[in-house]
Amino acid sequence: MTESKQTPDLLVEKLAAGQLSTAEETAVRQRLEAEDGLSRLDDIAQSNQDILNDYPVRQMAASIRERYAASTPQKSVAFKLFWTLAPVSAVAAAAAVVFMLAPSPVPSDPSETTSVGSVDPNYSDDSIRIKSGDPFLRIFKKNKTDEIEVKSGDKLAEGDVLQLKMITNHARSMVVCSVDGNGAVTLHYPERPAATTRVTELKSISLPYGYELDDAPDFERFFIVWTESETPIDAQQIIEKIKSMKHAAHDTPELSGAVKFKDIMVKK
Amino acid sequence: MAVDVEGYYTQFGPMVLRRCRHLLKDEEAAVDAMQDTFVQLLRYADRLDDEAPSSLLYRMATNVCLNKLRSAGRKHEDADTDLLQKIACAEVPEERFIAANLMNKLFAKHRESTRTIAVLHLLDRMTLQEVADEVGMSVSGVRKRLRPLKSQLAELQRSNLE
């Protein structure tokens, strides 16, 4: 039942695709000759032509890219394919850096912090309090021994690992995402589009993972989107707004009045 | 490693579609699986190395089709489909734990899916040596991986006859 009666399809496919070594190619050709099966190569050539006619390259490539892009926001965080788990100690150390660098720190009086809803427990809450001003995003590039804060316009490269931190100030709901030079949108906070976007006021939230830049060209533009109103932001809607921008590098996302944003764009 | 979708599709798309057609016996499902295979390729592009893409894509397509068969629970149409469906639905203990990362592991040259190995051997009639060469394992390793699945298939076969 399991012995090869004829050359397996995979070997013939590899031969037809020119993916065998010279020795393997000779062996498979001899085998096909012996079983009078060289016509299988012609069949594959004809089938290739038929398939490319029936399912044209441009159409299929566009469809594949569309599927890939559609799956990216939902999976970007869940699968952590582009993410590298950051050691807890590094997050803690980074939290200390933010604490030292954060503008206008106020005394740590618990009464100043108002909880407005449940917060995603997967994200560390560094309990840093800032008295006034808009929420903001800080990005740190992780080196072997330390972290350097990244500013808009800085030049980064594929493989750089970034640590994101949000200072909530008076935001009650918040989303952090980024769009790259390929137009792919990655959701950073919350973890999933359907998860709560509510945040506690006057806090610093460190994402539990480092974000590794991939090979997308030109830029990665990070958005922190928030509202101070009671109505929480829908992360999926924000993803769609970012995706719908014609020029991802410089367009302004169309957000409703109560929803505000800031962005940091790094070059690649 | 960047993936040139047009280039990869032109060179390997027809092979992937033939594989999906062969396993799924349904044109629409096969085209869907073919596209899913390339999406997986894009998703794991950063882990691609110089391994022959035809071989990798063939195994990925097999895996994608098995997952589709498993979730669809399609009825058996012939002996091969029957066998394929059983392989797709068989419980492979270690794969319960690695299913979510199966593609990850495939790219990372970790354990090949036992189900994919089973399809190559039992359905495609590749010898143990050919399968071992293809997935980079020893013959005894392939035999060991197939043992629990084969006994389970035999049991299923018996229960179907009763």
Concatenating the DSSP letter of every residue in B90-145 gives S--HHHHHHGGGHHHHHHTT-PPPHHHHHIIIIIS---HHHHHHHHT--HHHHHHH
Pairing relationship of beta strands A259-267 and A83-85 according to DSSP bridges: unpaired
Inter-chain residue contact B22 with A63, CB threshold 8 Å: no
CATH of B5-161 among 1.20.140, 3.40.50, 1.10.3470, 1.10.860: 1.20.140
User: ipTM surpassing 0.85, yes or no?
Assistant: no
B75: its two tokens = 């009825």
pLDDT at position B106: 44
Interface residue of B1, B57, B121, B125 to substitute, partner A, most A CBs within 10 Å: B125
CB-based contact, B14 to chain A, within 8 Å: yes
pTM above 0.90, yes or no: no
Cβ pair B14:A10 closer than 8 A: no
pLDDT at A215: 78
The answer to whether A8 and B128 are in contact (CB under 8 A) is: no
- Closest partner residue to A51 (CB to CB) among B14, B22, B55 is B14
In this predicted structure, the answer to whether residue B101 has a pLDDT above a threshold of 50 is no
Q: In what order do the strands lie in the sheet containing A173-180?
A: A185-189, A173-180, A219-227, A259-267
Higher pLDDT, B52 or B108: B52
The residues spanned by each domain of chain B are 5-161
Q: Using CA atoms, how far apart are residues A141 and A80, in angstroms rounded to an integer?
A: 18
The more confident residue out of A28 and A87 is A28
| A22-34 helix and A9-16 helix, angle to the nearest 10 degrees | 120
- The residues pairing with B57 across neighbouring beta strands, listed in sequence order, are none
Going from N- to C-terminal start, the domains of chain A cover 9-54, 76-267
Size of interface A-B (CB pairs under 8 A): 103
**Beta strand residue intervals within chain A, DSSP E:** 83-85, 124-125, 136-142, 147-150, 161-167, 173-180, 185-189, 204-206, 209-212, 219-227, 259-267
More confident residue, A146 or B140: B140
